[in-house]
Amino acid sequence: MERENSIEAHGLVREFKKGPRAVDGIDLRVEPGEIYGFLGPNGAGKSTTVHMLTTLLPPTAGTATVAGFDVVKEGPKVRKAIGAALQEAALDPFLTGREHLRLQTTMHGITGEERRRRSDELLTRVGLTEAADRKIKGYSGGMKRRLDLALALVHRPRILFLDEPTTGLDVQSRTALWVEVGRLAKEEGVTVFLTTQYLEEADVLADRVGIIDHGTIVAEGTPERLKSEISSSTVEAVPADPDQRGAVASVLERFGEQTTGYGPGSVAVQLSSPNGNLTEIVRALDAEGVVLSQLQIHEPTLDDVFLAKTGRHLEGSGDEEEQEQELEAEPAQV
Partner 1 sequence: MRTARQPANVVFPLIFPMLLLAVNSGGLQAATRLPGFPTDSFLAFALAVPFVQGALLATINANVEFARDIQTGFLNRLALTPVRGIVLLLGQLGGLMTIAVVQAVFYLVVGFAFGVRLASGVGGAFMLLVLEIVIALGFAALGSWAALRTGSTEAVQGLFPVFFVFLFLSSMNMPRNLIQADWFRWVATVNPVSYLVEAVRSLVIEGWNWEALGLGFAAAGALSLVGFALSAHALYRRLERT
Which x/- pattern, by CB under 8 A, does the window 147-176 give for partner 1? ----x-------------------------
C-beta of residue 33 within 8 angstroms of C-beta of residue 185 = yes
In whole angstroms, the minimum distance from the beta carbon of 107 to partner 1 comes to 4
Nearer to partner 1, 54 or 195 (CB): 54
Using CA atoms, how far residue 173 sits from 39, 137, 144, in Å, is 20, 18, 10
Nearer to partner 1, 86 or 217 (CB): 86
| CA 2 – CA 226 distance, rounded (Å) | 26
Degrees to nearest 5, angle at CA 226 with 222 and 228: 115
Should residue 243 be labelled a site residue for partner 1 when binding is judged by CB under 8 A?
no
The strands making up 267-271's β-sheet, listed across from edge to edge, are: 256-259, 267-271, 234-239, 292-298
Using CA atoms, how far residue 321 sits from 23, 168, 316, 327, in Å, is 28, 12, 9, 10
Should residue 61 be labelled a site residue for partner 1 when binding is judged by CB under 8 A?
no
Nearer to partner 1, 53 or 268 (CB): 53
Size of the site for partner 1 (CB under 8 A): 30
Nearer to partner 1, 77 or 214 (CB): 77
Nearer to partner 1, 151 or 281 (CB): 151
E strands within the chain?
A: 7-15, 21-30, 35-39, 61-66, 69-70, 82-85, 159-163, 191-196, 208-213, 216-221, 234-239, 256-259, 267-271, 292-298
In whole angstroms, the minimum distance from the beta carbon of 76 to partner 1 comes to 6
In whole angstroms, the minimum distance from the beta carbon of 245 to partner 1 comes to 52
Nearer to partner 1, 115 or 208 (CB): 115
Which x/- pattern, by CB under 8 A, does the window 206-235 give for partner 1? ------------------------------
Which x/- pattern, by CB under 8 A, does the window 120-149 give for partner 1? ---------------x--------------
Sign of the CA dihedral 90, 149, 34, 188?
Answer: negative
Which residue of 80, 116, 214, 245 would you call a contact of partner 1, by CB under 8 A?
80
- Which amino acid belongs to residue 251? V
Which residue of 60, 63, 87, 172 would you call a contact of partner 1, by CB under 8 A?
87
Nearer to partner 1, 102 or 174 (CB): 102
Where does this chain touch partner 1 (CB under 8 A) — which range of 67-75, 169-177, 224-232, 239-247? Answer: 67-75
Nearest 5°: phi and psi at 152?
-70, -15
Q: Interaction with partner 1 in 88-117: which residues (CB under 8 A)?
A: 88, 90-92, 94-95, 99, 104, 107-109
DSSP letters along 86-144, please? -SS----TTSBHHHHHHHHHHHTT--HHHHHHHHHHHHHHTT-TTTTTSBGGG--HHHH
In whole angstroms, the minimum distance from the beta carbon of 271 to partner 1 comes to 46
Report helix, strand or coil for 205.
helix
Report helix, strand or coil for 74.
coil
Nearer to partner 1, 163 or 236 (CB): 163
Partners of 13 in the beta sheet? 24, 61
Applying CB under 8 A, the residues found at the interface with partner 1 are: 54-58, 71-73, 75-76, 78-80, 82, 84, 86-88, 90-92, 94-95, 99, 104, 107-109, 135, 151
